[in-house]
Every structure is written in C-alpha cells, then in structure tokens.
Amino acid sequence: MSQRVLRMGMIGGGRGAFIGAVHRVAAALDHEAALTAGCFSSDPDRSRASGRDLGVPGARVYGTWRDMLDRETRLPPGDRIDFVTIVTPNAAHYEPALAFIEAGFHIACDKPLVTTSAQAARLIAAAERSGSIALVTYNYSGYPMVKEARHRVRSGGLGPIRRVVVEYNQGWLATNLEASGQKQASWRVDPARAGAGGAIGDIGSHAEQLLSYVTGLEIESLCADLGAFVPGRALDDDAAMLLRFRPQGGVQARGLLLASQVEIGHENDLRLRVHGERGSLEWRQEEPNALTLRIGDMPEQVLRRGNGYLSPAAQQAGRIPPGHPEGFLEAFANVYRGFFRAVRACGDPAPGASTIVSGQIAPGAPWRVAPETCDFPGLLDGARGVRFIERAVASAASAEKWTAFDGA
C-alpha cells in the first residue's frame, strides 16, 4: 500500500503563525504529503525566510500567491503541487481559493471558508466546473470518538433527537490581548480580516459544524445574543443562542450554542451533548479519547478510542492502541486523510471531472475507494458555516425572537 507522497503548497502560515504549523504536521503525519511549495507571508522577505525554515527549496517559495499559481501551473504535472492549503486570516481566503480551484488545483482551506455566502456559492460553482476537491478544516470532526458519536446518532441508537447542547468555551481573549500586538488576537478581533463574526466566527462555527456532523440536524431558525465584553472590540467575544432544527423522525429538536472567548481558565473547551428519545451522549474535546453514552435506564458507559466495540469509522480513525492518548494533531490529520483519499481517487486534477460534486467525490461513481471513507468537511460545510455566522449576526441585531436560517 505504498502511495505517492502528495505535493503540498501553502499560502500563509509563516513565522509566528499557529495554524500553519498544525496543517504541515497534520498533512505529513501519515507520510502521505510533503510540503513542496509555498507563499508563507504577504511580505515576500518573510515568505522566503519562512520557506528556508521549513526546508522548502528556494525556487518553490513565492512572494505572492498569484506568482505561485502562475508558476506552479506551468510546471509539469509530475512536479507541480497537488493541492494548496490556505491558512491566511479569514478575509484572505476567498481570492486564492477561487483562483486555485479555477486552475484545477485541489485546496484545503481553514475555516471559516470565506466571509460571505455569495463568495461561498461562487467557490462551489467553480469547484463543480473544475472538479477540484476541497477540504475545509473543521478539524474537530476528525476525532475518532466524534466519529463514534456520529455513528451512534446516525444509526438510531439514541432515537430521534430532542435537545442538543454545544459549547465552545475559551478564555484567552478575556483581556485586551490585541493591544499587546499578539498576532493571533489581533486579526481575530478585526472585522477587516476576520469578517463579521468574532467568537461566533472563530469558534462558534466549529461548534455549529460539530453538531451538524454528529447529528445531521439542520438549523431551521436561531435566536442569538452576541456581545463584546472587552471594551473597544468591534466584534463579539461572547455568543449564545437558542436553536430550532428542522423536524426529523417527527421530532423538532431544540438546541443551545455557546461560544465565548472570555471565560477565564477555559482553554479549548469544546463540548457536545446530544439527547434523544432513547439515550444521550457527551463528548469533550479536552478529553477526546472518551465518549460517554447513556442509554435508557442502563448504567452510563464510557467508550474509549481504539477498542473493538467501536464502529469501523471510529476504529479506522485511530492510529495507536487504546490508552495511548491521541490528540489534536491526529484528529487534524484525519480530516486530511479523508481529503487525500478523495484526491487520490479522482486522479490528477482535470477540468470537467463531472463526478466531483461540490468539491467531494460523488457517491455512485466508479471510484476505487468507498466514498464514505473520504469523510472530510468540505465546501458545503464551509458554506453552511458562513451562513451560520451571517444569520447569527442578523439575529443579534433583530428584535424578533426567531431568525430563519435560510432567510435573507
């Protein structure tokens, strides 16, 4: 099962960045991809310095992403990058994503995908035309026990869902960190770079995707309260909302979503609880190797990663035996792994690959791999996430209780 090592390009992620390094380690963890080219900064000198740090040959380090696109396109197919990872601040995703998709490259883009629903729609349309595969790195859905949670809900073990509670608790923005020039804080609180959402965009969108991934529920309407507790902030640093979902199985589920960055001492405390007619489950990102299951009037069960009683999807998403903790990087690598399967399935990018739908390989086409193993968040998740942010912001400004998810 030796496979060709895929060639990875990167836009952003230079010195001082956090998520760029995560993408590089995650993509390479299983020795399926190697960083080959990049434009690591909007400042060409910084880009070159970062390229040197990372061992990328000077000829493949570019000063602008346009230059990178132009020159990589002209390389022979056996040399050029297979995909490009975009890890710039949110507002700088759209242009390179569109251009690389239109040129037939596959892309991996950090979340939120773009800053408007209209942009998201144009990316989807472009991917339909070019046949590009697109990953949006909602990485938390890569955890094995999240896949088990999904399996349990989707296979009906909990019965129709009634109540969902999803929280993303952080505290690192409880003080005016951006005033110190801290790089991560600075762009996230700036509407010009982050888009219309603060906490709701940065972490609320992860929460939305996690609940959607696990439950399959679709938000029908929402009622949001967004606030900025740290004086001077233009964007929310704390968001809460009530949710109502489209009925499934005759039941209209209700939800609570909390996404706050001012809860001191909470590090990266993403939690999900799902309650159905027959049982409930609970998962916490900070102890990701466990999943608590409560069925009927039976004793609580704690499922742990790596065991034979788990679903195939959960088992295959792990790498090492039970009790050997896996963490954030492995989960991140899992979303890449699904993406790589799709990339390999569709061959080198070619215009007109009609069986690529919305950036993912379509079920039913004669792939050598099972499409369900190409389990990764993509453009549809990205587009839904952008709409989620838009509607949350709209709801927060509205005096009406419920704001329709699909409204204008």
Kindly give, in sequence order, each residue whose CB lies less than 8 Å from that of residue 31, ignoring residues fewer than 6 positions away.
5
DSSP letter (8 states) at residue 91:
G
Least CB distance from residue 184 to its own copies, whole Å?
Answer: 9
**Burial (Cβ within 10 Å: 0-12, 13-18, ≥19) of residue 407:** exposed
Residue whose entry in the numeric block shows the structure tokens 């569109």: 98
Residue whose entry in the numeric block shows the structure tokens 């603060």: 198
Least CB distance from residue 122 to its own copies, whole Å?
Answer: 32
Q: Which is nearer to its own copies, 320 or 369 (CB)?
A: 320
Q: Which is nearer to its own copies, 66 or 401 (CB)?
A: 401
Rounded Cα gap, residues 349 and 77, in angstroms: 9
Rounded Cα gap, residues 270 and 292, in angstroms: 15
For residue 248, the cross-strand partners are 251
Least CB distance from residue 368 to its own copies, whole Å?
Answer: 18
Q: Which is nearer to its own copies, 193 or 273 (CB)?
A: 273
Least CB distance from residue 381 to its own copies, whole Å?
Answer: 21
Q: Which is nearer to its own copies, 102 or 172 (CB)?
A: 172
Q: Which is nearer to its own copies, 15 or 122 (CB)?
A: 15
What is the chain's alpha carbon radius of gyration, rounded to the nearest angstrom?
Answer: 21
Q: How many angstroms separate the Cα of 319 from the Cα of each of 37, 140, 324, 326, 331?
A: 28, 16, 9, 8, 10
DSSP letter (8 states) at residue 5:
P
| 346 phi/psi in degrees, rounded to 5 | -90, 5
Least CB distance from residue 73 to its own copies, whole Å?
Answer: 27
Q: Alpha helices of 307-378 — where are they, by DSSP H? A: 312-316, 328-345
Least CB distance from residue 383 to its own copies, whole Å?
Answer: 26
Specify whether the CB–CB gap between 40 and 87 falls below 8 A.
no
Least CB distance from residue 133 to its own copies, whole Å?
Answer: 22
Q: Which is nearer to its own copies, 212 or 280 (CB)?
A: 280
Q: Which is nearer to its own copies, 94 or 326 (CB)?
A: 326
